[in-house]
A and B are shown apart, each in its own frame.
Chain A
Amino acid sequence: MAKRIEVKGLDIYYDKFLAVQGVSMTIEPRSVTALIGPSGCGKSTFLRTLNRMHELVPNARVEGKVLMDNEDLYGANVDPVNVRRHIGMVFQRPNPFPTMSIYDNVVAGVRLNSKRMKRADLDALVERSLRSANLWEEVKDRLNRPGSGLSGGQQQRLCIARAIAVQPDVLLMDEPCSALDPISTQAIEDLMLELKEQYTIVIVTHNMQQAARVSDVTGFFNLRAVGEPGGLVEIDETTKIFSTPSNQATEDYISGRFG
């Protein structure tokens, strides 16, 4: 299931504007990789290139390679739609479909491909996904209620359940806790630690404590200077980044001297 992602010399453009330059990294399967850095340094932009959501912005494009188990995601004949099927995403703010029930939200992705699934299979999938998202006990009695009636934290876990229901290989999380209270955040962080047993998880976060708590590997993004493109400064095991980073900028950021 979980797959390794290798990024090689990735440049990300908005039209002619080079937003992120020269990112290379390897994201190991069954681990949590956190991306930290000051605002506007291109973390989220980079994350969205991993499942080709970036190109939804008109004239946005990338150069370089993103390999998932040695298959180039940007190769010829690669269908971005299928890429997203393999690489799920959880967004900054919870976004369950307001017109769908909790149940329908979970199976929304599955319904796209296999049109005729047995009701029992669907039921099983919903329960499995919601259990994996630690939400089953809270919602099992109201699966047919709208997803928008849940609390923010529950909605975000519903979105995680929706993302893992299609059984992706990789899960991208774009600041998944920034709109949540501390208790909901705790629940999501616990969940991440469980999910990494099955998935490759990449999380963008503003919260350095969160990165330290949940991630195995941390990458630090930064702008070289104002007006310059952002880029990856260093990436290493989280314990090393937070104790003895090899780059001065990383140390400054970690110790709160800027950002």
Chain B
Amino acid sequence: MSTPPTNPATGPAESLDTDRLPAHEDPGPQTVTLAAVPLTRGSLPRHAARLVLLGAVGLGAALFAAGLGATWGAVLAAVAYTVVIYLWSRSVEGTRRAFDRFVTAVVSSAFLVALVPLASVVWTVVDRGLARFDTEFFSYSMRGVVGEGGGVNHAIFGTLIITALAALISVPVGMLTAIYLVEYGRGALARAITFFVDVMTGIPSIVAGLFAYALFELFYGPGVRMGFMGSVALSILMIPIVVRSTEEMLKLVPNELREASYALAVPKWRTIVKVVLPTAIAGIATGVTLAIARVIGETAPLLITVGITTSDNFDPFDGRMATLSVFSFSQYATPGIPREAYFDRAWSAALLLILIVMVLNLGARLISRLFAPKTRG
């Protein structure tokens, strides 16, 4: 089979070709085209993409100035860019490269389009929510308020109490479950739990609310409403998030640390408590914070378990409570007169909610950055 190494560049390639190649000797058109690919090809000037983009943006701005809406201006600019860069590239660089540029343009504009709702939501909420972002709004409840005035003081506390209780239930259950899955779990039970935690992440929030209602109705009778019910409903949504994030973090703890601890004759549970958890704690705290951020804005389950009230009620085991999200919804859905006062309160509550969520999100990032173990490098 093998030919002995010969002097380079002397092998009679032609004859060998015919020896070894199968019957289809005809080189065929593909051979010709492939061999003929030149190294160089026409290419667009270095800043071509940027120039076309600039032109397209200019065109969009001109259309906008000419009275067309901002949306249409942007859309036409994107289309113009895509078409021009495609045609230009096609004439200079060929179809393959042109299609590559086309895809690049489409993918990039898809990303930009996806940012539009985010920007629009934030802008709308800030713009409309600032109307009632005053001291009265934060220090008063809605007790006896008809029409203008009033505030969300009672709803802020309601949201905090209910979310805190939900966290109090979810964090221990979730963390212990994650510890079970990573450190102890094996076999059918672990597989079942993993699977059902996944399933649980998909439970619609309204179903979680219905569950809490169904559970409490058995003990308290029909029509029951209390803050704690809302906490139970939120826990259903929160537990799987806590389990998942804690599990991920525990899995990141290098096994060498556990073995080092065992080798020092530290029992397993102390290894977990003293070595594994502290190593992962920053990540776990981040996960818990994100889980709280996720449920603190929930509306549907609270709407059917906690309801809404106009007065202060800070006892989660007794009757209806106000929460920011339900407050916002009820102000918007059932406005009185003047309607604007109700809408303004709805938007201001929404702004407060989005601020809380963003602060929690930023806090989560901060935690993971500040307290990450040094080993991460």
Q: Do A and B have CB atoms closer than 8 angstroms in the complex?
A: yes
Binding site for B on A (CB under 8 A): 1-2, 28-32, 68, 71, 73, 75, 77-79, 81-83, 85-86, 110, 112-114, 117, 120-121, 124-125, 127-128, 131-132, 134, 166-167, 189-190, 193-194, 196-198, 214-217, 238
Residue among A30, A32, A110 with the most chain B CB within 10 A? A30
Residues of chain B within 8 A (CB-CB) of A114 are 29-30, 33-34
Task: Determine whether the beta carbon of B96 is less than 8 Å from that of A112.
Answer: yes
Task: Determine whether the beta carbon of B24 is less than 8 Å from that of A128.
Answer: yes
Within 8 A of A (CB), among B1-44: 1-13, 16-17, 20-22, 24, 28-31, 33-35, 37-43
Residues of chain A within 8 A (CB-CB) of B8 are 28-31, 196, 216-217
Residue among A71, A110, A125, A197 with the most chain B CB within 10 A? A197
State the Cβ distance, A192 to closest chain B Cβ, in Å: 9
Task: Determine whether the beta carbon of B22 is less than 8 Å from that of A194.
Answer: no
Known: A29-B8, A82-B38, A117-B30. A77 touches B43 (CB 8 A): yes
Q: Add 18 more A-B contacts to A113-B34, A124-B24, A190-B1 (CB < 8 A).
A: A2-B13, A30-B8, A30-B13, A77-B40, A82-B38, A85-B37, A121-B30, A124-B28, A127-B22, A128-B22, A193-B2, A193-B4, A193-B5, A197-B12, A198-B16, A198-B17, A216-B6, A216-B8
A/B interface sample: 27 pairs, CB < 8 A? A29-B9, A30-B8, A30-B11, A31-B9, A71-B39, A75-B40, A77-B40, A79-B39, A79-B97, A82-B38, A82-B41, A85-B37, A113-B33, A113-B96, A114-B29, A117-B29, A120-B24, A121-B30, A125-B28, A127-B22, A128-B24, A166-B34, A167-B31, A167-B34, A194-B3, A196-B11, A217-B8
Inter-chain CA distance A31–B6, complex, in Å, is 8
Residue among B5, B22, B29 with the most chain A CB within 10 A? B5
Name the CB-closest residue of B to A215: B5
Within 8 A of A (CB), among B114-135: none
Known: A113-B96, A193-B3. A30 touches B31 (CB 8 A): no
Inter-chain CA distance A2–B17, complex, in Å, is 13
State the Cβ distance, A27 to closest chain B Cβ, in Å: 9
**8 closest Cβ contacts across the A-B interface?**
A31-B8, A124-B24, A197-B11, A190-B2, A28-B8, A77-B40, A193-B2, A216-B8
Binding site for A on B (CB under 8 A): 1-13, 16-17, 20-22, 24, 28-31, 33-35, 37-43, 96-97
Inter-chain CA distance A32–B38, complex, in Å, is 24
Name the CB-closest residue of A to B33: A114
Residues of chain A within 8 A (CB-CB) of B9 are 28-31
Inter-chain CA distance A77–B41, complex, in Å, is 6
Residues of chain A within 8 A (CB-CB) of B30 are 110, 114, 117, 121, 125
Name the CB-closest residue of B to A32: B5
Task: Determine whether the beta carbon of B3 is less than 8 Å from that of A68.
Answer: no
A-B contact count (CB 8 A): 109
Known: A30-B9, A31-B8, A131-B22. A113 touches B2 (CB 8 A): no
State the Cβ distance, B34 to closest chain A Cβ, in Å: 5
Residues of chain A within 8 A (CB-CB) of B11 are 30, 196-197
Known: A29-B8, A86-B37, A113-B34. A197 touches B42 (CB 8 A): no
State the Cβ distance, A249 to closest chain B Cβ, in Å: 25
Task: Determine whether the beta carbon of A198 is less than 8 Å from that of B13.
Answer: yes
State the Cβ distance, B42 to closest chain A Cβ, in Å: 7
Residues of chain A within 8 A (CB-CB) of B33 are 113-114
Name the CB-closest residue of B to A112: B96
Name the CB-closest residue of A to B41: A79
Inter-chain CA distance A197–B13, complex, in Å, is 6
Residues of chain A within 8 A (CB-CB) of B10 are 30
Residues of chain B within 8 A (CB-CB) of A166 are 34
Inter-chain CA distance A189–B2, complex, in Å, is 8
Residues of chain B within 8 A (CB-CB) of A31 are 8-9
Residues of chain B within 8 A (CB-CB) of A1 are 13, 35
Name the CB-closest residue of A to B4: A193
Name the CB-closest residue of A to B26: A124
Inter-chain CA distance A1–B36, complex, in Å, is 11
Task: Determine whether the beta carbon of A127 is less than 8 Å from that of B24.
Answer: yes
Residues of chain A within 8 A (CB-CB) of B29 are 114, 117, 121
Inter-chain CA distance A83–B42, complex, in Å, is 14
Task: Determine whether the beta carbon of B20 is less than 8 Å from that of A132.
Answer: yes
State the Cβ distance, B264 to closest chain A Cβ, in Å: 35
Residues of chain B within 8 A (CB-CB) of A134 are 1
Name the CB-closest residue of A to B38: A82
Inter-chain CA distance A125–B34, complex, in Å, is 12
Residues of chain A within 8 A (CB-CB) of B34 are 85, 110, 113-114, 166-167
Residues of chain A within 8 A (CB-CB) of B22 are 124, 127-128, 131
Residues of chain A within 8 A (CB-CB) of B7 are 216
Inter-chain CA distance A31–B7, complex, in Å, is 8
State the Cβ distance, A102 to closest chain B Cβ, in Å: 17
Residues of chain A within 8 A (CB-CB) of B97 are 79, 81
